[in-house]
């Protein structure tokens, strides 16, 4: 489906593609259903979790089945196909190397007034949601749990849906075992998010929940934000490809197909100034949207408006455009850097902002599993030097006791609350 940016008749469809968020009507209907599930899980714990697992995943579990047992992990090791462990180890090494470079650094600096700084502390307990519906995602285990471990998170809990044989995908279990995550629960969907938020008899309450999922999982995370922290409200996978006339159309086609296969709601879009490229791709993928633009500059403007999760640049000298791209979750430069590399192997987390969130947020990183704490230590001399300005600001806002908290340290308020003469001995202890 080729759309031309300069054709008035095509503009409404292009606008619909760019503004791809789900309708408020659909979101409201889903949230109303989720509120019922939330209330049940919060009040009835495991009983509600088991009931919704049977309803949505069509598997009847008992409480003793919820947590994955060590023997299940051991059995999974012998089930996985030859070569998987070697490949996933290489991917893990790349992720470790990349993420360790982005660890935020604490700092302390002495000034004339005292000592200032920031220290980073890991979040204590993190819940990771690993999808398991249409396809298993052992890669998501690596892209989340490794990052959490580098941040120093002590307790990492994974929730992922079971199959009808009451089992978790063996590749997911092996990936978790490889990086040392042993606490895994057989629960998926919104009930998993609510379990991690409030805790049940079997599943612990956590402080933050991360990981991708379907619309029910994403909106469940949105609903519990405030009870716990969340990474983002992630929607279906998406890729935008900007290609010029020298691009290889076969590379483009398979990049589009690779992201489209995640989910029926996934978004895969080609933007190009080349009629030839548009026509060749349209022959193979007639249902995929292709937007013809007048030039690369217009394509960049469209990218920044769309703010894609994944952006592939199939153009001459793609590095020249980096400075112009303001909004994208991850950028893949050149025909030999498909999004799939980022999905599995390169090192950055594949948990990325979708639905236009790249305008104001980033992909999952080490700092998402940490808290930044400010450190302030003024000397008496530093306080006295700056007291006048601090008092002025406090009094301007009408906050008298804020001002008094400074004045008392200057001896201007005596122990009985009266104004003092400013001598040090009137400060009191």
Same domain as 261, residue 219: no
Q: What pLDDT score was predicted for residue 263?
A: 78
Sign of CA dihedral 208, 212, 218, 222: positive
In a domain, 112, yes or no: yes
Give me the count of residues in the chain: 429
Q: What is the DSSP letter of 87?
A: H
Please determine, for residue 415, whether its predicted confidence score (pLDDT) is greater than 90.
Answer: no
Q: What pLDDT score was predicted for residue 416?
A: 57
In a domain, 12, yes or no: no
Same domain as 334, residue 249: yes
* Residue from 310, 312, 314, 350 carrying the catalytic annotation: 310
In a domain, 18, yes or no: no
Same domain as 227, residue 186: yes
Same domain as 280, residue 195: no
Q: What pLDDT score was predicted for residue 399?
A: 96
Same domain as 208, residue 187: yes
Same domain as 334, residue 421: no
Confidence of residue 25 (pLDDT cuts 50, 70, 90): low
* Residue from 238, 309, 312, 350 carrying the catalytic annotation: 309
Same domain as 204, residue 271: no
Give the CATH number for residue 334. Answer: 3.40.50.1980
Same domain as 240, residue 158: no
CA distances for 116 relative to 104, 312, 370, 385, angstroms: 17, 42, 19, 16
The overall average pLDDT reported for the chain is: 91
Euclidean distance between the first and the last CA atom of the chain, given in angstroms as a whole number: 77
In a domain, 44, yes or no: yes
Q: What is the mean pLDDT of residues 197-219?
A: 95
Domain extent for 316? 235-362
Please determine, for residue 424, whether its predicted confidence score (pLDDT) is greater than 70.
Answer: no
Confidence of residue 16 (pLDDT cuts 50, 70, 90): confident
In a domain, 9, yes or no: no
Same domain as 406, residue 328: no
Among residues 362, 393, 409, the one where a domain terminates is 362
Same domain as 293, residue 206: no
Q: Give tens-digit pLDDT for 49-64.
A: 999 999 999 999 999 9
Sheet with 114-122, side-by-side order of all strands = 107-110, 114-122, 370-378
Yes or no: say if 203 and 195 are a contact pair by the CB < 8 Å rule: yes
Give the CATH number for residue 421. Answer: 1.20.5
Same domain as 116, residue 67: yes
Residue predicted with more confidence, 418 or 113: 113
Yes or no: say if 203 and 157 are a contact pair by the CB < 8 Å rule: yes
Same domain as 343, residue 408: no
Q: What pLDDT score was predicted for residue 22?
A: 54
Q: Give tens-digit pLDDT for 248-287.
A: 999 999 999 999 988 787 899 999 999 999 999 999 999 9
The single residue listed with the structure tokens 């044989």 is 165
310 is catalytic: yes
In a domain, 4, yes or no: no
- Name the domain count of the chain: 3
Nearest to 91 by CA among 374, 416, 350, 274: 350
Question: Which residues does 420 contact at the CB level (< 8 Å), separation at least 6?
Answer: 411, 412, 413, 414, 426
pTM: 0.89
Q: What pLDDT score was predicted for residue 177?
A: 95
Q: How far apart are CA 399 and CA 179, in angstroms?
A: 52
In a domain, 6, yes or no: no
Give me the percent of the chain exceeding a pLDDT of 70.
95
Q: What pLDDT score was predicted for residue 420?
A: 56
In a domain, 17, yes or no: no
Among residues 309, 334, 362, the one where a domain terminates is 362
Please determine, for residue 74, whether its predicted confidence score (pLDDT) is greater than 80.
Answer: yes
């Amino acid at each position: 489906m080729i759309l031309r940016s300069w054709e008035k008749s095509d503009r409404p469809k292009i606008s619909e593609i760019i503004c791809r968020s789900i309708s408020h009507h659909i979101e409201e209907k889903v949230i109303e259903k989720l509120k019922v599930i939330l209330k049940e899980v919060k009040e009835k714990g495991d009983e509600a979790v088991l009931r919704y697992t049977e309803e949505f995943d069509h598997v009847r579990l008992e409480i003793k089945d919820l947590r994955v047992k060590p023997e299940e992990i051991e059995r999974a090791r012998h089930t996985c196909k030859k070569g998987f462990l070697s490949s996933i180890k290489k991917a893990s090494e790349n992720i470790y190397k990349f993420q360790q470079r982005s660890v935020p650094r604490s700092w302390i600096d002495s000034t004339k007034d005292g000592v200032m700084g920031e220290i980073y502390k890991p979040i204590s307990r993190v819940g990771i949601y690993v999808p398991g519906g249409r396809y298993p995602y052992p890669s998501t285990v690596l892209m989340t749990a490794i990052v959490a471990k580098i941040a120093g998170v002590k307790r990492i809990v994974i929730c992922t849906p079971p199959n009808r044989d009451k089992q978790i995908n063996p590749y997911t279990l092996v990936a978790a075992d490889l990086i040392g995550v042993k606490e895994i629960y057989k629960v998926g969907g919104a009930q998993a998010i609510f379990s991690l938020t409030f805790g049940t008899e079997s599943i612990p309450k956590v402080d933050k929940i991360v990981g991708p999922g379907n619309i029910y999982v994403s909106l469940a995370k949105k609903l519990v934000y405030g009870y716990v922290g969340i990474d983002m409200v992630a929607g279906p996978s998406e890729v935008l490809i900007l290609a010029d006339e020298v691009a290889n159309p076969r590379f483009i086609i398979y990049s589009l197909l690779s992201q489209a296969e995640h989910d029926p709601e996934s978004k895969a879009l080609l933007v190009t100034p080349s009629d030839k490229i548009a026509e060749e791709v349209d022959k193979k993928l007639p249902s995929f949207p292709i937007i013809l633009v007048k030039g690369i500059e217009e394509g960049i403007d469209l990218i920044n408006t769309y703010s894609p999760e994944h952006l592939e640049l199939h153009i001459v000298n793609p590095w020249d455009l980096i400075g112009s791209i303001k909004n994208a979750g991850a950028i893949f430069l050149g025909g030999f850097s498909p999004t799939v590399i980022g999905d599995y192997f390169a090192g950055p987390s594949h948990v990325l902002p979708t639905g236009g969130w790249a305008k104001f947020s980033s992909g999952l990183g080490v700092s998402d599993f940490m808290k930044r704490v400010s450190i302030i230590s003024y000397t008496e001399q530093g306080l006295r030097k700056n007291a006048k300005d601090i008092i002025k600001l406090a009094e301007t806002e009408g906050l008298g006791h804020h001002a008094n908290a400074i004045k008392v340290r200057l001896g201007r308020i005596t122990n009985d609350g009266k104004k003092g003469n400013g001598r040090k001995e009137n400060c009191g202890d």
